[in-house]
């Protein structure tokens, strides 16, 4: 994505946002892991998405 995305006319920097999302997964999902129950992935993804928005903002 970082090599082929053309950001010249983009309204937002999706590459930076996706990078932030993946970096915060080092916390949400790797350091802090939910119990192995239904909805565990939703919790990790939601918190990673929220944190990425804070970083991006």
Quick one: 3 or 27, whose CB is closer to Zn ion? 27
Residue 45 near residue 22 (C-beta atoms within 8 A)? no
Assess 20 for contact with Zn ion (CB under 5 A): no
**Among the listed residues 38, 48, 50, 53, the single contact to Zn ion using CB under 5 A:** 48
Q: Of the candidates 9, 35, 36, 7, which has an alpha carbon nearest to the alpha carbon of residue 19?
A: 7
Name beta bridge partners: 52.
none
Stretch that binds Zn ion, among 3-11, 12-20, 31-39, 46-54 (CB under 5 A): 46-54
């Amino acid at each position: 994505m970082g090599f082929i995305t053309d950001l010249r006319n983009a309204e937002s920097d999706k590459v930076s946002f996706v990078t932030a999302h993946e970096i915060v997964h080092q916390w949400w999902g790797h350091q802090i892991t939910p119990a192995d129950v239904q909805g565990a992935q939703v919790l990790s993804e939601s918190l990673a998405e929220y944190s990425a928005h804070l970083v991006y903002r």
